[in-house]
Every structure is written in C-alpha cells, then in structure tokens.
Amino acid sequence: MRRERRRESIQRDKRGFTGLEAAIVLTAFVVVAAVFSYVVLNAGFFTTQKSKEVVHTGSMLYTTSAELTGSVIGYSLTQSGDILTVASGGTRLNATRFYLQLTAGENPIDMEGLTISYLDVDTHVGSLDYNASAGGAQISSSSSLGLKPGEWNYTILTPSTTYGDTDTLLEFGEKAQITVALPEGGVGSDEKFSIEVKPARGANVVIERTAPSAIDAVMDLL
C-alpha cells in the first residue's frame, strides 16, 4: 500500500518538467529578443545610411562645381549672312565671352555635358546650340567669331599654353573660355540679359549683366 502511494507521489511530482519548460520559454524569449534587436539595429543602420546618401546627393546637387573667374566681356559684332564676324561697334551687344574654373575640391567637369540657356526681356532659349567647329580665337576687327546667333563654344586654357589642352575636361588649374552668340540679335543699350550654365553635376552658374548705355565693339560687363 505504501509502495503504491509512493509510486503515485512520484508520478504526480512534475517539478523537473516544469523547470525544463521554463528554460525552454526563457531561451525562446532570448532568441526572439536577439532577432528583434538585430532587425531594429539593421533598420537603424539602413536609415542612417539613407540619410547620409540624401545629404551627400543634396550637397552634390546644390554645391557649385564651377565658378566664374575674371571679367565677362561683351561684343558688338557684324553679322555676315548667318555668321557673326568682326567686332564693329554697332548698336547691339550680340556676343559675350567669360571664363569658368573648378570650385576648390570639385571633380573635373566634362564641358561637352554643359547646357547653356539664355534669357532677356524678349527672348528665352532653354538650350543654346553647341558649335564644335567654331574656334576660340581672339575676337577683334580682323577675326571671325564663326558662330551663328544662339550658338556657343568653349576652349580649355591651361597655365602653360594659351590653347593647349586636347581633352574635354575642365580640370584643376585650367580655365574654360566660353563664347556665346546671343540669340535674336542680342540686346540694346541698358537692357538686361542672363546666361545660365548648367553642368551635368552641381549647381548652375548664373551670369546676369546689363548692356552699357554706349555700345562699343568690346565692353567689360560689370
């Protein structure tokens, strides 16, 4: 009789199983907490990385990669057929020449990726035509610009030579000489105009000038 009671007591005593179950539940909680922590940390790292990418992209878009250097020169040229030829001292400012250089710390700019737009009180052209065949020679009474109204070209100037670089990249220490033949005959005296240079990367360079009261063959546009 006592043996049977003792056997029933042993069978009813499940404290060992209860401890094992608690250990399993605790292990499950630890595993779930570890997985949750891993997911949360990964989400945090991903969010931080995306924030860095957004800041970096915004910095690239709104930081000027090129800047104006030197004077903006205006010209009054004679038009022969469709081509602007020599400096003549007429009644309208119809061409400009200016220089760009890289902003400190910026990467080289592919000049063939530029877009140049033009705006005055009567005219807006979103993208002027690039004329690769026109040269970058000095503009004088004995030279031809070789551009039609509404066209532009460029020449890379290096410190060692006047026209010595053969590639299309504006690199550190170089200057890009850009010549623009204003569309629609240009502007008259005291008229405002704007030229916007848009690189493939970085903020635009905006040049706003007013034609002087007296139009000369060559003018420094302040």
Out of 42, 60, 78, a domain closes at 60
pLDDT value at 209 more than 90: yes
| Judgement on whether residues 204 and 136 belong to the same structural domain of the protein | yes
The pLDDT tens digits of the residues spanning 123-166 come to 999 999 999 887 666 676 666 778 999 999 998 888 765 554 66
Q: Using pLDDT thresholds of 50, 70 and 90, give the confidence band for residue 30.
A: confident
Closest among 216, 5, 222, 193 to 91, alpha carbons compared? 216
The percentage of residues in the chain with a pLDDT greater than 70, rounded to a whole number, is 72
126 & 171 share domain: yes
Asked whether residue 40 falls in the same domain as residue 100, the answer is no
Choosing from 60, 75, 95, the residue where a domain stops is 60
The verdict on 95 and 51 lying in the same domain is no
- Edge-to-edge strand ranges of the sheet holding 192-198: 124-125, 115-120, 192-198, 205-210
Instruction: State the total domains in the chain.
Output: 2
- Helical segments of 82-161, H only: none
47 and 74 assigned to the same domain: no
How do residues 47-100 score in pLDDT, each as one tens digit?
A: 656 554 544 444 444 466 889 999 999 999 988 888 888 878 789 999 999 999
Residue 177: give the domain boundaries: 66-221
Region of residue 90 (phi > 0: left; psi between -120 and 50: alpha; otherwise: beta): beta
Q: Which residue has the tokens 């502007």?
A: 187
Please indicate, yes or no, whether residues 53 and 155 belong to a single structural domain of this protein: no
Would you tell me how many other CB atoms lie within 10 Å of the CB of residue 212? 15
Which is nearest to 94 in space by CA: 123, 61, 64?
Answer: 123
* Geometric angle at alpha carbon 88, from 127 and 111, rounded to 5°: 30
pLDDT at 104: 79
Among the candidates 60, 78, 105, a domain finishes at 60
Q: Give yes or no: residues 48 and 78 share one domain.
A: no
Q: Are residues 17 and 116 in the same domain?
A: no
- What is the pLDDT confidence band of residue 173, given thresholds at 50, 70 and 90? confident
Say what the pTM is.
0.69
What is the pLDDT, as a whole number, of residue 146?
Answer: 83
